[in-house]
Amino acid sequence: MSQTASRLADLAALDSVLDAVGGYLDHPGSAARTRAADALGVFADAFGLAGIHVTVSAPGARAMSIGSGTLHRAPAAGAHVAGGAPFVVYPIGSAVGDDASRVIADREDEAVGVLARSLGIVLDAARGRADTRAAAERLAAVDDAARAIAGVLSVDRVLQIIVDRVRELVDARYAALGIVDAAGRVERFITAGMSHAERDAIGAPPRGRGILGVLMREGRSVRIPDIAHDPRRSGFPPGHPPMRRLLGVPVTVKGRPIGDLYMADRRDGAEFTDDDQRIIETFALHAGIAIDNARLHEQIQRLAIVEERERIGKDLHDGIIQSIYAVGLSLEDVPELMDEDADEARARVDRAIEGLDKTIRDIRNFIFGLRPELLQGMTLSTGLAALVEEFRVNTMIDAELTAREEDAEGLAADEIGQVLIIAREALANVARHARASRAIVDLRATGNHVVVTIADNGVGFVVDVSRPPAHQGLHNMRNRAAGIGATLIVDSAAGSGTRIIVTLPRRSAAVSGGEM
């Protein structure tokens, strides 16, 4: 073989070793190990070596020990080849900077030095790829954790999920979240990694006297390698599990501190790292937003309850209470009339009884309207049928429903519920105000819309006339319709009855012809 051909073969052997070792560092396994050992054998033969061994033990890299020929196994310290000469050790590339990472040959050869330096480059590249993969995995974990808390609207639930997730992000043995009040005192302390018995044994939440207080007061992240030797510590309470290392990160909302996240003791025993801190600080931003969202949702829910109570109070005052008051007024003169006009007295008592019966029916309608669970599982047509039947029985007004089941398809459960509440309110207005003898509820589909009409033949009213504040029925109906993307039209005039028309778009893919 010519010298040029031989040199090409030598370069091929070098490339083969670098490629095989790089593959093993990225994806270790028996097949990759065998391939690397075979490549080392080819390299040894190409340069006339009886044996060669590669050992890698560098920070942040996979450990590796692979050999070929007489150095199939790594030689013991001070070992010699058969002729008495010691083995030659070549440190792998200066970029690695670790004497434990080396190439061992049975004699000195320039090619082995080239291999060692080249393996340093391969090792750094493999370590860089591993770091990149680890960073991508951690970012994916943060994204997954952030998504897990983003849609949770219960404060208690979101706080516990935050603690559970933050513990997983850095593989900590323990995690906690302390929530502080406006004065900076811990009002809630949620933990993960402890049993209920362990948590109960600790007792009251911490007061922030020691290291935890430092984080609360200073509002910055804290990393402590050994709690027992930190001068700021105040000691653990009786029953507290032993902890050594600590990572604390503040949680803020719109620049205002609301609490702190704490992680104690990584499971691998190592100290918390800069990467751990960055990961938790990123997650803490999401945690603050999730806590704020949950708090706002609960505030809105409480406000909605208060508003609903006010609406009920106004409706009761406007209808039922006034009816009872009118009955009371009609009975005030009955004692005198019993002597002066017994027939009129009896007539008034009869009318009062009828009025009270009507009021009882109104109260039943209120109870029915305040229990939406009665409507769960109903389609719009079956729900309307139930409302019409209830209306007919309670009012003795002739009522009719015209509907086809297929016309009500393509509506979500919350949309059905809101339309039924609007229909109930409209029918209640017919009973209270319309002085009607007949009511019709009509359900039909027009294109991609569902239209529900509640009509009566009563006295009607002038729609444009402003209503007193106590008359909230129409206002509430319009708000409910708007809340589900529907329109509500009130068509009425004095002496010509009233029509309430609700038009709702159907969003179902089954109706529009779309595909999943």
| pLDDT above 90 coverage of the chain, percent | 25
Integer-rounded Cα Rg, in Å, for the chain is 40
In 204-245, which residue ranges form alpha helices assigned H by DSSP?
A: 211-218
Give the model's confidence band at 317: pLDDT under 50 very low, under 70 low, under 90 confident, else very high: low
| pLDDT above 70 coverage of the chain, percent | 85
User: For residue 470, what pLDDT is reported?
Assistant: 41
pLDDT at 227 over 80: yes
Q: Summarize pLDDT for 460-506 with one digit per residue, the tens.
A: 988 865 555 445 678 888 888 998 999 999 999 888 899 999 999 98
Order of strands, sheet of 222-224, starting from the edge strand that comes earlier in the sequence: 186-192, 172-180, 256-266, 246-253, 222-224
Angle at 131 (CA atoms; ends 130, 137), nearest 5 degrees? 90
Beta bridge partners of 309: none
Residues 6 or more apart whose CB falls under 8 angstroms from that of 207 comprise: 185, 186, 213
Angle at 55 (CA atoms; ends 49, 57), nearest 5 degrees? 165
pLDDT at 433 over 80: yes
Give the model's confidence band at 236: pLDDT under 50 very low, under 70 low, under 90 confident, else very high: confident
User: For residue 391, what pLDDT is reported?
Assistant: 82
If we measure between CA atoms, which residue out of 487, 470, 469 comes closest to residue 478?
A: 487
This prediction has a pTM of 0.51
What the chain holds in terms of domains, given with CATH numbers, is 3-133 (3.30.450), 151-299 (3.30.450.40), 371-516 (3.30.565.10)
SS (H, E, C) 394-429: HHCCEEEEECCHHHHCCCCHHHHHHHHHHHHHHHHH
Give the model's confidence band at 226: pLDDT under 50 very low, under 70 low, under 90 confident, else very high: very high
What is the DSSP code (8-state) at residue 27? Answer: S
If we measure between CA atoms, which residue out of 237, 232, 229, 200 comes closest to residue 216?
A: 232
User: CA 304: distance to chain centroid?
Assistant: 23
Q: Are 391 and 427 in contact (CB under 8 A)?
A: yes
Task: Identify the H or E element spanning 186.
Answer: strand 186-192
Mean pLDDT of 150-178: 90
If we measure between CA atoms, which residue out of 9, 112, 4, 121 comes closest to residue 51?
A: 112
pLDDT at 107 over 90: no
Higher pLDDT, 324 or 230: 230
Give the model's confidence band at 514: pLDDT under 50 very low, under 70 low, under 90 confident, else very high: very low
Q: What is the end-to-end Cα distance of the chain in Å, rounded?
A: 67
User: For residue 516, what pLDDT is reported?
Assistant: 31
The type of residue at 271 is E
- At 289, list the tokens: 């937003």
Give the model's confidence band at 412: pLDDT under 50 very low, under 70 low, under 90 confident, else very high: confident
What is the DSSP code (8-state) at residue 320? Answer: I
Q: Summarize pLDDT for 252-271 with one digit per residue, the tens.
A: 988 888 989 999 999 999 99
User: For residue 515, what pLDDT is reported?
Assistant: 33
User: For residue 448, what pLDDT is reported?
Assistant: 86
User: For residue 39, what pLDDT is reported?
Assistant: 92
208 phi and psi angles, rounded to 5 deg: 80, 30
- At 4, list the tokens: 């040029």
Other Cβ atoms closer than 10 A to 406: 9
Mean pLDDT of 156-172: 92
Residue 56, SS3 per DSSP: strand
pLDDT at 94 over 70: no
Q: Summarize pLDDT for 49-72 with one digit per residue, the tens.
A: 889 999 888 766 778 889 998 888
The type of residue at 237 is P
d(CA 66, CA 423): 80
Residue 438, SS3 per DSSP: strand
Mean pLDDT of 132-136: 75
Q: Summarize pLDDT for 170-213 with one digit per residue, the tens.
A: 999 999 999 888 777 888 899 999 888 888 888 877 777 777 77
pLDDT at 83 over 60: no
Give the model's confidence band at 421: pLDDT under 50 very low, under 70 low, under 90 confident, else very high: confident
Q: Summarize pLDDT for 353-379 with one digit per residue, the tens.
A: 887 877 776 676 666 555 444 445 568
Pairing of strands 498-505, 449-456: antiparallel
d(CA 249, CA 162): 13
d(CA 216, CA 229): 20
Mean pLDDT of 315-340: 75
